[in-house]
Amino acid sequence: MSRNILHVDFNNFYASVECLQHPELANVPVVVGGDETARHGIVLSKNEIAKRQYGIKTGEVLWKVRERCPNVVILRPHMERYLEFSQLARTLYGEYTDRVESFGLDEAWLDVTGSGIFGTPRHIADELRDRIRREFGITVSVGVSFNKVFAKLGSDMKKPDATTVISETNFRDRVWRLPVGELLYVGRATQMKFARLGIDTIGDLARFDRKLLGTLLGKHGTMLWAFANGFDASPVALANENGTVKSVGNSTTMPHDLRCEADVRLVLYAIADSVAARLRRHGLAGSTISVSIRDCDMFTFERQCKNNHPTQLSGEIAEIAWSLFRTNYTWMKPVRALGIQVSDLTEDTACEQLDIFGEVSRRMKKGELEHTIDSIRNRYGHDMVLRASLMTAPELTGFRPAQGNFMHTTPIIRN
């Protein structure tokens, strides 16, 4: 039986919410961005005027935006507002189906296969667009398809405030001519690999030899081949399944590019400290540690490894991240930003087998120490207890655990 999947994507989400709060900015270019003075100055979101008239793109550095558009209004993000709108939207989606899967704050899949009482999938999509425009004051684009990948692709094809249908009969005409980089989970690194194989469009990928692609790129390559051919059968999660935390992480952009390993190690320890504190706060430990690295040209990649036991210890997380960095970064360019993410989470109350060498006992003592440090910081402030090494470079390690943390509640595939 063919499924009916919607993908709802808020248009210019952060900027739209900010403009709703500031109606006087309705006819001027608006950008939501980070702190320029701390080099967090990149575009997080932009309104339609900034996008259409000035070509401003997400991820651009703000000083370049100012050069091209001197009259741009740059606003700081207010995550609590965006979270409120996201929760309101999920409540609205729940009126149509119990299968609602978030993909970040501003996107969600809905499986409306059994929702014929509300009309055709196209009718439901149009009704959602109309209700969100009237009830929330901002707009969404909706993709309608027979699988999640093409539904998301549809929501990206026409913006703002539009519905795009990709069916089992028309997807070759509508999808295969698009650049392969527009397919879900095709990042910059994978796109470069595809280019070396002569794969420029989604159609090129769909027609490529599947076995050869698997040999060259492994499971990720064959998965993307299946997506290009419309073979995505992944279900839309039930709404009450979305609350499970999948990963906890933190990242930071440095005040200046890093050019030596000593500085990178300090920053990784500071990030690991914040990630570990948040894991403990939520009673979690994780087995997979990932490090993300962005160079001065804004190229980002991620590497990860599996630990032999779940951890919430800052030292363990930092050393694994540091090892991943040293193994994978060749210093062709300076480092602009770093991040650490811990996944494969379990509750920290899980039992652990004692060993004859006393390693588990030592880790338990370290855990007790870090919980004590958490208590002191909660009562007297974060700076009351710091690693001595981090005090040697406060300009690099002075960011706070409460700022920039993220918790993923849906699986994310990276490359």
* pLDDT per residue as tens digits for the range 285-313: 999 999 999 998 878 889 999 998 899 99
The number of angstroms, rounded, from the C-alpha of 287 to the middle of its chain's C-alpha atoms is 20
CA pair distance 154, 40, nearest whole angstrom:
31
Longest dimension (CA), the chain: 70
Q: Specify whether 261 is catalytic.
A: no
Query: Which of 407, 341, 408, 371 is closest to 280 using CA atoms?
Result: 371
pLDDT at 352: 53
pLDDT at 412: 35
pLDDT at 410: 38
* pLDDT per residue as tens digits for the range 324-381: 999 999 999 999 989 999 998 887 654 455 545 556 667 667 777 777 877 777 777 7
pLDDT at 376: 79
Domains of the chain: residue spans and CATH: 14-79 (3.40.1170.60), 176-228 (1.10.150.20), 244-408 (3.30.1490.100)
* pLDDT per residue as tens digits for the range 232-266: 999 998 877 655 567 888 888 887 899 999 999 99
Burial track 241-269 (b if 16+ CB lie within 10 A, e otherwise): ebeeebbbbbbbbbeeebeeeebbbbbbb
* pLDDT per residue as tens digits for the range 10-57: 999 999 999 999 999 989 999 998 777 666 578 999 999 999 999 999
CA pair distance 167, 146, nearest whole angstrom:
6
- Give the mean model confidence (pLDDT) for residues 211-221: 92
Neighbours of 109 (CB within 10 A): 26
Place of tokens 């003592």: 365
Whether 348 and 313 have beta carbons less than 8 Å apart is answered as no
pTM of the model: 0.72
* pLDDT per residue as tens digits for the range 157-203: 999 999 999 999 999 999 999 999 999 989 888 999 999 999 999 99
Q: What's at 15, amino acid-wise?
A: A
Q: 136: pLDDT confidence band, cut at 50, 70 and 90?
A: very high
CA pair distance 348, 244, nearest whole angstrom:
15
Coil, helix or strand at residue 209:
coil
* Residues 6 or more apart whose Cβ sits within 8 Å of residue 124: 6, 96, 112, 115, 118
Tell me what the pLDDT averaged over the chain comes to: 87
Among the listed residues 18, 48, 60, 107, the single catalytic one is 107
